[in-house]
Structure 1
Amino acid sequence: MRLNTEVALAAGISAGALIAYELSNGSSWFRLWLKDQLSPMVRIGTVAELYIHPIKSCRAHMVNEALCTDFGLVHDELRDRNFLIIDATTKKFLTARQLPKMVLVETEIRNNKMTLMFHEAHSLRSIISINLDDVITNADIIPTVVWGTNTNGYDCGDEVGEWLQKSLGSQEPLRLLYFVPGLNTSRRVVPEQNWQFNKVPQRSDEAAYADLASYMAVSQASLDNLNSKFEGREFSMRNFRPNIVVGGCPEFDEDRWDEIRIGSHVRFTCFKPCSRCVLTTVDPRTGVKGADVEPLKTLRQYRLAPGALREIYKQSPIFGVNMGVDEAGVIKVGDPVFARYKPTPF
């Protein structure tokens, strides 16, 4: 009896030591497995929509499936925010905040041939094509700065720059930059310590030309809630430019997501509430910035950051959540979505 007790005790000590070792030094799969045992994910809904924005601030592609990579969503030859429009003189990056007609520029890429189409007044007004193989061969690399971090891009040439300037009505000359993994860049997405009550995940994510995260998700119910505050007017997800829209969960459920899983294994960590700016007021159908500052004005009435976070986000309301991918893979519209919740929203 004593021998059995000693064996059991030794086995328990060994198991405890193994768990302690794995938690501090071992593989991530073990930590993930243990986390799932202690705090299981629950199903919250399904993937309702997927969006890829090939050129930052330009028209999004709605797709039925996409590969989740460190740099963002990929579908065929389309990669999220891998192109950037800059001022040719100052090298500063530009968005629809400055040039609202950018939302009317649509992108197609087939066999490494990129075609840009400018839609205005519900019709195709202008079109141009460039060969991306030639862009890489020419190897004309231009440095720029995106939100305080240095990065580079291959210059797509004079012709497309002039086409963009004319189409967008810019007073300044423009260039289109093309990001390819391997280019020299100091862009890393590192979460700041700005949750109010919850521990901020310690991580560092890749980024091409996305603002503050390579992924942004929002629930369909959150948009429905916003639209319920207007009569005879409806805003679309294109006003908010998400990558992943989740249907079937309550409004603003994303405020409490700690981690989510899509399908059997694609995982994300939610590390920052998505703050909103004047870009949401640009009508994605017309490329006109709303004079009434909607929906931003209404969001400010009930979605400003609470407590101490107000000092950080000020008058930028929260709508959606920024994420980084932990386990890559393919996700599809209709896939189940699971979440692990934080104790409190912020």
Structure 2
Amino acid sequence: MTENIAISINRFSRGGGMESYTFDLVRAFSAQNHRIRIYATKFDTTLPEYAQIDPQLINQKHTPKKLRPFFFTHQLQKCRLANERLIACNPSDHADIFICGGTHLGHVNNMAPQTNLMKRLLDRFIIHRNRTNYRTAKSIMAHSALMARELNELYGVPSEKIHVVYPPADTERFSPASPEEIAAIRARYGFKDYETVFLFPSTGHKRKGFDMLADFFTQTDLPVKLAVAGSPLPRPMKNIIELGFCKNMPELYRAADYTIMASLYEPFGLVGVESLLSGTRVVLADNIGSVEVMNDKAGFFFSRTNPETLADAIQKAVALKESDKHKLTNPTEALTYNPSLQAHFIALQAMLEAV
């Protein structure tokens, strides 16, 4: 393992998937008694992972907020060590390994056309920045085959530069519960035994496909509930309950009968894997990246372009719940890859050694 290794991330604090992924890497390197340099614009010093790193602040206090991502890589290069290997978890140039959890062109192509001129210009800048990130990286880790195709087809990145390595999940935190534990959790959330509860974790309802799900749940007479964890709902709706922002996601996964997502664009979607590890099957749109690592035991899949397939998937899910055979006792049987951090870290080490 190379001695001088660094990770770049916008903010070393609780946030989205890439922040959580950065913490995973820090823990993995720390387990090997390796202290990693972290380049970031902000550090949460209360995090336990903070004690395991060598923090390097990228000071952007006087940089306009909209421009900060574009100046980050230039500031980083000025303070980067000459013999340092860089793992980029944010848009940074000249990375030894660039971690690709999604592409902006892929996002733009799958969302509604942008009508705001300034936002269209910003999209162009971000796509240009993507191109320089990918071109200057020595190697790119794509978190799904979907990402690999976008890198190759939308950005022209050579296939030999791209390595598909699926992201890790916390296999200790997300695990099944006993029927008694599940019953107790459901009672706390007010979930009825006769209802089939579909958990919808979302902080961006439009991209996550809430409208498609709401169209079905508000019109069906099936004994179902859509439990929304995250952003508030626009208004009260039939068969849809609002849970608000929830910190204890393993508990919610266990309490639900299924986890459901209908995303317009989802480069991977770790939610599905976390749900399965918690013993809860999924109902997912087939364009979601994580479907690549699931087999028939994982649940039910549907097409966003055909609403009838969503209705069919939910009806099958309800029938399986009513037979009381819907929970997974051995979650890894539903996955086609090893989601452990150790397995992922071994693949990352191999990539570092190769470059």
Structure 2 length as normaliser, TM-score? 0.24
**Relative contact order: is structure 1 or structure 2 higher (C-alpha 8 Å, sep ≥ 6)?**
1
Which of the pair is proportionally richer in strand? 1
